[in-house]
Chain A
């Protein structure tokens, strides 16, 4: 029995925030869940997929976030409960549909969970998703603990069903990807039968009629959230400082107050229903607070909205000074940490912060400076992307026209770094590499001579690159699209996509084959093996000499998937007699330039060496060494 589907009410488990969300959805009796993977949200649908069969629910990894929301909405307009999950970038993709769905409303329950990634730890950008709920007139909840994440999902479904509209939950990395105690509740036994009421037309048109309905639903949500127990106050009746916080800020602030011994001086107002605000509760606290500090992640969302509320009521409220991102007291970007909040509170309350003794601190500083070498991100040992980028680099050098590589989202986004030999020159949104290459490939008419390469992973291809490829083809743009097909959504944990022959629930599914699709469009389509470095480089070079839109599929399994599927291909060693070491004219080509973590430079021997605990046995480096010192043998 999988963890999140345990039928054991009252049992306490250690669950990841995302698993807690999934459990909450099961307790709320969902029938359908859909998402496109994206960290830090991926485990929500991942864990639901694992229990789908047991629980009798339908779970899918959709082709992209907009379709995921549409799939969930179809269930919700038919009276079911449906959950959809995505990361902040995904919400951008889904928002076109969302900004119409909010006007038509739904019949069942639809909860949209968006997991923001403050500091962009696993994202290209940093973005606060909360702003969208204001223009969409939708209610928003923000969990502060793991157990609360579970209970909030259940509550969000109640709200959604009550107001006939979407309810959004915003989580962040420190909730979604953290783990904590969660007490299980009961699982429902029956689910409604779906029915689409054809007497009703779900159209946002005319907005003059649907927009007022959305406003009415929003006011209804406001009443429902007003006395929620997800909002709470702890501290003295008239605190010297009132901290208003939400999400991950709550536990951090609570600890900071305790650690500094400020329990009798600082009050903590935790808001779980961040939009619309519990106005009465906030106003009553503002009456007794001379100074307010906002602690929240990324944008001043809570801060802005409380300030707005204060302005509306300024004639009846005493003077309050507000501190937060706007006053520069709290950084206006990035993740929060307990250390940060301890520092802010210690300064504001004029107490000293806990500190270690001087001697220890200086040793600690020395440790950080001289004994903790930086670790740049790199492709895994045996990753096919390293080989593909190597081939691209070689081909572009051979071509000599200063070709441009337009990159995209996935593990291969690291191609902007040294591990991909800095070959990718752009990195934006899903599918944007092909779209930009399509535009660049049209610039020949103005005298541009640089060839364009669009790099794209298999999952990204299905998600958003197909329209861009059609655009290029139709407008006869000169570009080479290289599809790095590693048969997985590797970056986020190997979820299946439309090219896979199994679906999220583990059943057989027809695979949409990339080359079949491309050839059916009349595109010149070539397939290669990135581990064959020379052959790949020559193929890329030759394709670059042709005009029009071409596709090259470089196919090789993600090293991590490969490692799970079978034994390593090669046993690789460095022949210490052949390796010329520092004497070799190659200037440590294998390690200085190729940089696979499986290869080391032995400083005492001054020669290359394979680390057997790390090498994945792809055998590619054997082709790199000019002295043929790296030896591969079939394992």
Chain B
């Protein structure tokens, strides 16, 4: 990793599977000899709130489960407005963002109490807060694979394919088999490769 500690935020909305995504990234890296700490903020995770995981990756020490403000090196966002929320707190001019373009509307937006930002303006804001940013139709790809929840693995696959995370498909398979279950390997492998193939 270029920096130590390397700080990653995986963010999204309850039910999008970002806790699992960060667990898998972490498991692969611990197996490769890194010290990894993951802190999750998921009050009522299943129930529509924002969910973020902080990953602190280091060669030499165990870092705390939350990163200081403005210290994110990589943001993986399962939802675009959540990317803005994280960049606003933890971003810096060097941060790289990998973002699922599909919005998940808060109930407050559904009810008409507040509005969701214009998607193009939102993307522009994310770009202006990132050194590099990538927007992907991860949910659409995941729906093609049969389950919207797979968008998390699609995004990790993309980040790995773009050289942003030192993870390969073998490491991921091993982690899934060991930390989840061997039955979950094939579909997640497919989603990971699908993400990797989206890198041009």
Contact = CB atoms under 8 A, between A and B. Distances in A.
B122 interface: yes
B109 interface: yes
Interface residues on B, range: 35 or more
Interface in B1-46: 13, 15, 23, 26-27, 30, 35-44, 46
Given A180-B35, A378-B47, A613-B139, A121 B41 contact: yes
A363 B48 CA distance: 26
A600 B48 contact: no
B183 to A, nearest CB: 14
A377 B44 contact: yes
Contact of A599 (B104, B110, B116): B110
B184 to A, nearest CB: 13
Interface string B70-102: 100000000001101101110111000000001
Interface in B110-167: 110-112, 114-117, 121-122, 125-126, 128-129, 139, 143, 148
Interface residues of A, number: 71
A364 B87 contact: yes
Contact of A178 (B38, B43, B44, B121): B38
B69 A339 contact: yes
A178 B40 contact: yes
Interface string A123-150: 0000000000000000000000111000
A367 B129 contact: yes
A595 B47 contact: no
B35 A367 contact: no
A368 B89 CA distance: 8
B171 interface: no
A377 B43 contact: yes
B88 A367 contact: yes
> By CB atoms of chain B within 10 A, which of A174, A181, A338, A375 has the most?
A375
Nearest to B27: A14
B65 to A, nearest CB: 4
Interface string A354-378: 1111001001111110111111111
B135 to A, nearest CB: 14
B49 A364 contact: no
Contact of A375 (B49, B91, B92, B121): B49
B138 to A, nearest CB: 11
Nearest to A413: B44
Interface in A366-400: 366-368, 370-380
B39 A593 contact: no
Contacts of A259: 68
Given A613-B139, A614-B104, A337 B125 contact: no
Contacts of A357: 93
A256 interface: yes
A181 B70 contact: no
B35 A597 contact: no
Which of A122, A174, A259, A599: most chain B Cβ within 10 A?
A174
Contact of B125 (A354, A366, A596): A366
A160 interface: no
Contact of B50 (A375, A378, A597, A600): A375
6 contacts: A13-B30, A364-B87, A368-B84, A370-B117, A373-B117, A595-B111
Please give me the 5 A-B residue pairs with the lowest Cβ-Cβ distance, nearest first: A251-B64, A178-B65, A372-B85, A368-B88, A371-B84
Interface of A: 3, 12-14, 121-122, 145-147, 174-175, 177-181, 248, 251-252, 254-256, 259, 337-339, 342, 354-357, 360, 363-368, 370-380, 411, 414, 418-419, 490-491, 560, 588, 591-593, 595-597, 599-601, 603, 611-614
Given A177-B39, A376-B106, 16 more contacts: A14-B26, A14-B30, A180-B35, A180-B36, A251-B63, A255-B63, A337-B66, A339-B68, A355-B70, A366-B125, A370-B117, A373-B115, A379-B48, A560-B46, A592-B112, A597-B107
